[in-house]
């Protein structure tokens, strides 16, 4: 019975986050070092798990990535879910700005130091 209750709670939270871009983006940023994206990139390079972060807008894009590296990044994409060109609240604007700045620095560092 407890397993069913726990499963129901997980489903409810997942559904709520899917419907709330602000909560989704807030949760996405918890998993990264916003103050030092280069450190995250360095760790990921060392573990051979480097990625390229994308941002959702009118079209999805990769901040800090020149056109010549786009295909490389598309094959290693991690998307910041909850980002959008439609800003819902001041918090959403701030979180999106953090995600873009993080992605620019992480992506640029990762591309410069990839193996």
Residue-range domain boundaries for the chain: 20-113
Q: Is the distance from CB of 73 to CB of 62 less than 8 angstroms?
A: yes
- pLDDT for residue 12: 46
Enter the pTM of the model.
Answer: 0.82
**Does the pLDDT value for residue 11 go beyond 80?**
no
Residues 56, 113: Cα–Cα separation, whole Å: 25
- pLDDT for residue 2: 67
pLDDT band at 103 (very low <50, low <70, confident <90, very high): very high
Q: Write out pLDDT tens, residues 36-64.
A: 999 999 999 999 999 999 999 999 999 99
> C-alpha angle with apex 17: 15 to 21, nearest 5 degrees?
135
Proportion of the chain above pLDDT 70, given as a percent: 84
Q: What is the residue-wise DSSP string for 53-107?
A: EEB-SSS-B-TT--GGGHHHHHTTEEE-TT--SS--SHHHHHHHHHHHHHHHHHH
């Amino acid at each position: 019975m407890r397993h069913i209750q726990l499963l129901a709670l997980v489903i409810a939270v997942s559904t709520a986050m899917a419907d709330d871009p602000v909560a989704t983006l807030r949760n996405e940023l918890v998993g990264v070092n916003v103050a030092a994206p280069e450190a995250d990139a360095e760790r990921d390079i060392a573990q051979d798990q480097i990625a390229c972060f994308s941002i959702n807008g009118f079209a999805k894009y990769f901040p800090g990535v020149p056109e010549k590296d786009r295909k490389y990044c598309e094959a290693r994409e991690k998307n910041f879910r909850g980002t959008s060109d439609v800003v819902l609240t001041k918090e959403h604007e701030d979180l999106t700005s953090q995600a873009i700045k993080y992605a620019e620095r992480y992506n640029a560092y990762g591309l410069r130091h990839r193996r």
